[in-house]
Structure 1
Amino acid sequence: MKRAFAPLLLSLSVFFSGMAAAQEAELPPLEEATMEEDPIFAAFKAVERYFRETQSLKAGFVQHAPSGEITSGMVYMARPGRIRFDYAGDVPFLVVADGEALNLIDYEVGQVTRWPIDDTPLRLLLGRDVDLARLGAQVQAAPGGDERIVAVHARDENRPELGTITIFFERRAGEPDTLTLKGWLVKDAQAQETYVELVDAILNPELEKKLWTFEDPRGLSKRRRTR
């Protein structure tokens, strides 16, 4: 099995792979959208509404690593600061953000690697703040000319080593101001891209607190290193 999971924490398929080109386009800054009839202004207000109304999420996911390896599983999210990626099959990894740090748990070698959430691109997804303008995010109302899609792109100009994230939403049919989170594309400082696509997302489910914990594999025998 290719070990393509370390880039996930530094960079963590979008809705469809053709959308990747949209990340390269210059996205108009939020401050330029000042009128309600402006489609970009309407799009970023819809995104802020989504974050404001979404406290938790449960979904299937498909992840495309920079190596081309494809994995899948279940993802759970609770804002602020909590996310869990449970990989299906025999993948010996677990990714858990516990409200303070993002943890990569490698049960094969018995190792835990931690990053502060604010030092990862996922801070846009997991943060308490929904003020996209303050976060320096940019919005595109119809990337690739697809009117169904809204994209949000974020990059910390002062810390380029953190990489970039582009989050993709789909407008709900008949309710253009209501969005569904479809996935995200993350590019790290080495231009390595990781794509995550969400499947059958459920909004605001009740999630057990134990999801944000994990068995620490350090010190366990290899025989006992299971998730």
Structure 2
Amino acid sequence: MNIRSLALAPALVLALAFPALAERISLNEISRYLNSLTTVTSEFTQVNPDGTVSTGTVYIQRPGRVRFEYNNDPTLVLASGGNVAIFDPKSNGGPQQYPLSETPLSIILDANVNLGRQGMVVGHSERDNATVVTAQDPQRPQNGNIQMVFTSPTELRQWVVTDDSGQKTTVILGEMRKGGSMPASRFSIQNELNRR
């Protein structure tokens, strides 16, 4: 073995040890992928800011609609018509409501996701064979951000929402079932108010 091949040996060992090092997925590809999602149903695990863990099912209908149903917990989170409503049976008043535009989740639910917009992406890296994108609303960075984790071929696996007070909520998705139709009533805040 000559000196030259000896110098290449460590590089060859590294190449063999990590055969599936993922390339960072481009922002254009991630935007295309998110825009291609219309309806999605998935089991999820949620790590709350206080460290507690919840599980349930999330229903997404882009643009603008999401429903989080929790297992063994009557709390319900709905987004529809530009608003988010949190129905918490422990609350004495009605649901807590605020504009969808005030939460970083609106980035995923937007009618036209464009991660190439100036000031939207504040982080884009490859970590543990996944692409991690941190995005914020360039007009409202004070509302927090969303860190999305994608695997290759492009698939959203989890997100972490950091709200305006710095609290982090992590949602880890199970296997996503895409397509099909969902009734608009599933996302209706008014229907839920009437029901309760």
Q: How far apart, in 1, do the equivalents of 2:50 and 2:113 lie?
A: 33
Please list, as runs of the form range in 1=range in 2, the aligned pairs for 1:74-93 lying within 5 A after superposition: 74-89=57-72, 91-93=73-75
Q: How far apart, in 2, do the equivalents of 1:132 and 1:104 lie?
A: 28
* Structure-1-length-normalised TM-score: 0.68
Which whole-Å deviations, capped at 9, do the CAs of 1:89-135 have from their partners, x for residues lacking one?
Answer: 1x231100113201111223352111111111111110012221226
Q: How far apart, in 2, do the equivalents of 1:54 and 1:216 lie?
A: 28
**Residue aligned with 1:92, SS:** coil
Tell me which of 135, 142, 148 is aligned to 2:126.
142
* CA RMSD after TM alignment: 2.1
Aligned to 1:100: 82
Compute the displacement of 1:138 (Å). Answer: 4.4
Identity of aligned residues (%): 29
Aligned to 1:216: 193
Compute the displacement of 1:139 (Å). Answer: 5.4
Q: How far apart, in 2, do the equivalents of 1:92 and 1:152 lie?
A: 32
Tell me which of 176, 181, 189 is aligned to 1:201.
176
Aligned to 2:44: 61
Q: How far apart, in 2, do the equivalents of 1:64 and 1:50 lie?
A: 25
Please list, as runs of the form range in 1=range in 2, the aligned pairs for 1:27-46 lying within 5 A after superposition: 42-46=25-29
Note closer, same or farther for the CA distance 1:48–1:156 as it changes in structure 2 (3 Å cut). Answer: closer
Q: Which has the larger radius of gyration?
A: 2
Q: After the TM superposition, which parts of structure 1 deviate over 4 Å for at least 4 consecutive aligned residues?
A: none
Tell me which of 165, 189, 192 is aligned to 1:190.
165
**Which residue type is aligned with residue 142 of structure 1?**
E
Count of aligned positions: 170
Aligned to 2:145: 164
Relative contact order, higher structure (CA 8 A, sep 6+): 1
Tell me which of 152, 161, 164 is aligned to 2:133.
152
- Unaligned runs of 5+ residues in structure 1 are 1-38, 173-178
Note closer, same or farther for the CA distance 1:202–1:44 as it changes in structure 2 (3 Å cut). Answer: same
* Structure-2-length-normalised TM-score: 0.78
